[in-house]
Amino acid sequence: MGDILLQLNNISVVYSNVIQVLKGVSLTVERGNIVSLLGSNGAGKTTTLKAISGLLKPENGEVTDGDIICNGVNIQNQSPEFITRQGIIQVLEGRQPFKYLTIEENLRVGTATRPGKPYKQDMELVYHYFPALVQRRKALAGYCSGGELQMLVIGRALMAHPQLLMLDEPSLGLAPLVVQEIFRIIKKINEEHATTIVLVEQNANMALQVAHYGYVMENGKIVMEGTSKELSDNPDVKEFYLGMAASGIAKSYKDVKSYRRRKRWL
Amino acid sequence: MKKLSFHPCGNYRENYAQELSIFETWFGRVSLGVFLLILFGVAPFFLSPYLLYILNTIGILAIAAIGLNILVGYTGQISLGHGAFFGVGAYAAAILATRLDVPFYLSIPAAGFITALVGMIFGIPSGRLKGLYLTIATLAGQFIIEYVLIQWESLTKGTMGITLPGPSILGWTIAGDKAFFFLIFICLVLMTWFAVNIMRSKYGRAFIAIRDNDRAAEGMGIPIFKYKLLSFAISSFYAGFAGALWAYYMVSITTEPFNLGLSVEFIAMVIIGGMGNIPGAIFGATFITILNEILRYTTGVLMNVSVITSMGLNMAPLREFVFGLAIVLFILLEPKGLAELWRILRSNFRLWPFSY
Amino acid sequence: MEFFLQLLVNGVCVGLLYGISAMGFVMIFKASSVLNFAHGELLALGAFFFLSLVTWGKLPMAVSFLLTLAGCFVLGFLIEKFFLRPLIGEKLIFVIMLTVGLAAMFKGLILLIWGGNLHTYPDFLPPSLEIQLGAIYIAPVYSATLVISVIFLVLFGLFFKKSSQGIYMRSVADNQKAALSLGVHVRRVFALSWAIAAMVACMSGIVLGIINGVNVHDLSAIGLKVFPVVILGGLDSIGGAIIGGIIIGLLETFTGGYLSPSLRDVVPYIVLVFILMVKPYGLFGLVEIERV
């Protein structure tokens, strides 16, 4: 085990004091790794991210049990202002740009964790990763395309100098080529800056290609973990997330309907 | 359809008829009947004229507040011009009664329809505007109507005001608080019944759909502009109807009361009573009227306390202050209004002693 | 012709006043999307604070001015903390009605403390500000207004376009959740925008008080006249507020001069309805970008 950046110990999350979403989730993120979090809709992936970044409170959620430790600091139920200043930045699901701000102003909001500090160099860096943004820098974000916006929100998060970058479904609603481009850049950011990345994805195939380690969530629990290699070789993951039969070949929908492999971990 | 004797402890409705039923149990229906019986059979004969006057005011304002609730609480369109529409109704009735000698049972509904037309004109911006912008457009409507009422002297006699003839039917003249009590509360019951039933119809469901998400409503095939206008029309009809009743009850009217303050009072009734709740509007009208009376009485008393008058303090603004405070406290503490408090109270009684 | 020119000048001057009164309003709207119906009462509060400090406290002008600004800054902060913060995320009508309730409270309070009479400030502007161009006369207060409004316009423009804090404020108004996720201190932004806006409102209240005298009813009426002004200019454009103010001011003085004095106070609202029907987001406002 290498150097551990973030550790979740057995956390439970409850919304509105009644709805329990996470039922004892534990995971560790090593420094410099890309960790992917897989699972179907409603498994609790986004909630896990929000528990880490402190964004549960506006949605009336609370970490009721367990602890979240980042760099030796206890951060569960802290305010988002505090957590972002620890270097943890979450990129929200579904691209949430500031529609009435230009691309450049959007990027400047990313400096909120260190107001008043110089930011020009970081902006150059973002433009270096996402050259598509350069010619749109004066355009209102509300008028940009989905791909540009996804680049924008990742770039905006980079402006904050994150130690830990959490991406929530960066491939949502994007064309396959754009998805590939985005993942290529994610990989590059990870390699060049040693930024630790937690990746929540529906597109398990893409995610396992770039990630070092992966967790599979179901019903608010972690049901399986392993290196990307182990996961993509696992017959259950193949069947349920990669859309392949246990034997490793892509299969037709006819078989999916007639026979479902029983999940081993349940 | 079978009526339950007890409230079910969950949602066990199985068909649309049950979903649309107003009373879940026979008890609710009977208790409403008993309440109405007491209201009509006992109240007018035992209450003092002053209390009857307050009840009548509540009745009139409640009709207008129900109308505003249809617009604000159910359709989600905020209007700051309801006080002016109330005034349009009052003037329409007064002009019909004095110039054309229309009997009251025709002039009151006619005033409602005229106001509905005016309301639709000011509802036109709602086709393009939403939220804040619409609010401001109705604010402009308020000022424009006020101006027209004052300046169109050939019709409204301007600041002189109009005196109405007493309403009479079949040779019998309605005069005095007791007679008006019956007129007003029969109207209130009918209008409430009408409002409750609109909300159970296709129109009511369209209004609610527009409130919750007008784009989605449009996507579902609801012509939103038409329904928004309809909502404005119904709401102004109620305002005009109430205004006409008010004109007859007050005998002589001037433009003065129909200002922005009245519009704000109507919105306060809807919020304090409970948005999107028809009985709530009646609660709200009751609350505001009683609050106004109490404050008037208190400031009157305080004015006569020698310590305060000797200090040269004028206590009249206290009324404004407390009124504002009531609105603010309700919004902060119980945004669903009195209707919600009433519901909590009832369910506490029902479930006592095991309230979980 | 002279009459026309004098009306033109008067119109622009009155309009500038409306414009700077509207600036605080636009600031609050920009940062927290709150339509502030208590704006007129904020104007009045500032004017009365200043009045008390100057005439009863016998403090020098500059000291009382600064004290008033500081007091209003704190007041705005408190209003946000106690009344508006609990409503974050609530429906529009609750927020609007809350400010209506606040307006009634403030008005009652001012009437209780200072009464409904007209008060005036001692005269203190230097007469060198007086401008006489041929037959046209511009009173010193108006030229002072012109200077003040230009200064504030430039300052605000720079603040919102260039400074980090200004951009954070706009980002919060735009997408609160995303701003939170990037570590913008949202509560601080709200509090700050109310504080600054209250300060600006108080300042314009003082200016209005110098020109027209201090009276609660007049000042709160101006608070309502802010609506046509900002709608004309677009609710979220500070430059638009000034231009909207000038247009409304011109409309008023010309209608008052040529048509009828009684129409004067209503004409802004009539124009407002037409503008809203033709150009719903005002002349300079942002078009709402709605994507499903």
pLDDT over threshold 90, residue B127? no
C87 contact B CB<8A:
yes
Quickly state the pLDDT bin for B236 (edges 50, 70, 90): very high
Q: What is the pLDDT of residue B88?
A: 92
Q: Is the dihedral of CA A180, A184, A189, A194 positive or negative?
A: positive
Output b/e per residue, B74-86; b: 16+ Cβ within 10 A: bbbbbbbbbbbbb
Residue type, A216: V
Q: CB contact, 8 Å: C103 with chain B?
A: yes
In a domain, C240, yes or no: no
Q: Which of A97-101, A196-200, B23-27, C253-257 bottoms out in mean pLDDT, i.e. has the lowest?
A: B23-27
| pLDDT higher than threshold 60 for residue C286 | no
Residue in chain B nearest C221 by alpha carbon:
B260
Establish whether chain C is in contact with chain A, requiring a minimum of 3 CB pairs below 8 angstroms: yes
pLDDT tens-digit map of B61-119: 999 999 999 988 888 888 888 999 999 999 998 888 888 888 888 888 999 999 999 98
Structure tokens at B209: 């759909």
d(CA B108, CA B240): 8
Among C165, C177, C289, select the one facing A96 at the smallest CB separation.
C177
Task: Kindly report, residue by residue over C30-42, the tens digit of the pLDDT.
Answer: 777 778 888 888 8
Residue type, A239: E
**Residue A16 located in a structural domain:** yes
**Rounded mean pLDDT of chain C?**
80
Which tens digits make up the pLDDT trace of A10-48? 999 998 888 889 988 999 999 888 999 988 888 888 899
C71 three-state secondary structure = helix
- Residue in chain C lying closest to B316 (CA): C112
Report if residue A145 sits inside a domain. Answer: no
Which two three-digit tokens encode residue B300? 């009157």
Is C283 an interface residue toward B (CB < 8 Å)?
A: no
At residue B112, the pLDDT reads 92
Task: Say whether pLDDT at C23 is over 60.
Answer: yes
Alpha-carbon span B97 to B106, nearest angstrom: 9
* Interface predicted TM-score of the whole assembly (ipTM), two decimals: 0.83
- Share above pLDDT 70 across residues of chain A, in percent, rounded to a whole number: 90
A140: in domain: no
Q: So what's the pLDDT on residue A247?
A: 55
**Are C183 and A113 a contacting pair at CB < 8 A?**
yes
Strands A73-74 and A4-15: unpaired
Give the rounded percent of residues in chain B with a pLDDT score beyond 70.
Answer: 90
Q: What is the pLDDT of residue B243?
A: 92
The answer to whether residue C116 is domain-embedded is yes
Average pLDDT over residues B287-315: 74
**What are the b/e assignments for A164-202, b being 16+ CB within 10 Å?**
bbbbbbbbeebeeebbebbbebbeebbeebebbbbbbbb
**What confidence tier does B355 reach under pLDDT thresholds 50, 70, 90?**
low
User: Which chains border C (3 or more CB–CB pairs < 8 Å)?
Assistant: A, B
Establish how many alpha carbons lie within 13 A of residue A29's alpha carbon, considering only the half-sphere containing its beta carbon.
29
Domain contains C234: no
The H or E element that residue B320 is part of is: helix B317-333
Q: How many CB pairs under 8 A join B and C?
A: 136
B327 and C103 within 8 Å at the Cβ level: the answer is no
Kindly state whether residue C205 falls inside one of the protein's structural domains.
Answer: yes
Inter-chain contact A99–C174, Cβ cutoff 8 Å? yes
CA distances from B120 to B124, C39, C228, C258, C277 (A): 6, 30, 21, 32, 14
Residue of C nearest to A54 (CA): C181
Quickly list H helices, A4-145. 45-53, 80-85, 103-109, 120-129
pTM of the predicted model, to two decimals? 0.77
Confidence band (pLDDT; 50, 70, 90) for A248? Answer: low
C266 versus A260: the higher-pLDDT residue is: C266
Number of domains in chain C: 1
Contacts of C180 in chain A (CB under 8 A): 55, 58, 80
Q: Do the chains contact at B321 and C105, CB–CB below 8 Å?
A: yes
Distance from CA of A2 to the nearest CA of C (A): 28
Over range B111-131, report the average pLDDT.
84
| C112 Cβ under 8 Å from any chain B Cβ | yes
pLDDT band at C200 (very low <50, low <70, confident <90, very high): confident
Q: Does residue C126 lie within any of the structural domains? A: yes
pLDDT band at C233 (very low <50, low <70, confident <90, very high): confident
Q: Which pLDDT does position A258 carry in this prediction?
A: 46
What's the pLDDT at B255? 81
C83 contacts on B by Cβ (under 8 Å):
328, 332
In a domain, A63, yes or no: yes
Assess if residue C86 is contained within a domain.
yes
pLDDT for B4 equals: 62
The CATH number given to whatever domain includes residue A221 is 3.40.50.300
Helix boundaries (H) for chain C: 2-32, 39-51, 61-79, 92-114, 140-161, 164-174, 176-181, 186-212, 216-233, 238-254, 267-278
pLDDT at residue number A59: 81
CB within 8 Å: C167 and A109: yes
Contact yes or no for C83 and B316 at CB 8 A: no
Query: Range with the lowest mean pLDDT among B130-139, B257-266, C47-56, C196-205?
Result: B130-139
Nearest to A111 among C164, C170, C180 (CB): C164
Q: Quick one: tokens of A86? A: 């620890």
User: Chain B residues with CB inside 8 Å of C97's CB?
Assistant: 267-268, 271, 327, 331
Q: Nearest CA to CA, how far is A12 from chain C (Å)? A: 21
CB B128 to CB C277 under 8 A? Answer: yes
Mean pLDDT of C241-254: 85
C117 CB neighbours in chain B (<8 A) are none
Domain range for C105:
18-223
CA distance C41 to C24: 12
- CB-CB neighbors (< 8 A) of B319 in chain C: 108
Stretch (H or E) spanning B179: helix B176-199
pLDDT tens for each residue of B158-202: 777 787 777 777 767 777 777 888 888 888 999 999 998 888 888
B129, B144, B316 ranked by CB distance to C270: nearest: B144
Q: How confident is the model at residue C129 (pLDDT cuts 50, 70, 90)?
A: low
Residue C124: CB atoms within 10 A of its CB come to 10
Instruction: Give the pLDDT mean for B288-307.
Output: 79
pLDDT of residue A219: 87
Sign of CA dihedral A176, A219, A222, A30: positive
For residue A51, give its domain range: 4-96+161-233
Residue C122 is given by DSSP the state: P
| Best C227, C235, C260, C292 residue to mutate vs chain B (most B CBs within 10 Å) | C227
% of residues, chain C, pLDDT over 70? 90
Residue A85 has pLDDT above 60, yes or no: yes
Q: Determine the pLDDT at residue C289.
A: 55
pLDDT at B221 over 80: yes
CA angle, C178 as apex, C173 and C184 as ends, to 5°?
75
Residue-range domain boundaries for chain B: 47-258
- A and B in touch (3+ CB pairs within 8 angstroms): no
| Chains with 3 or more CB pairs under 8 A to chain B | C
Question: Which residues touch C184 (CB under 8 Å, ≥6 apart)?
Answer: A81, A109, A112, C168, C171, C172
Question: A205-235 burial, b if ≥16 CB within 10 A, otherwise e?
Answer: ebbbebbbbbbbbbebbbbbbeebeebbebe
Q: Lowest mean pLDDT: which of B38-52, B101-115, B230-244?
A: B38-52
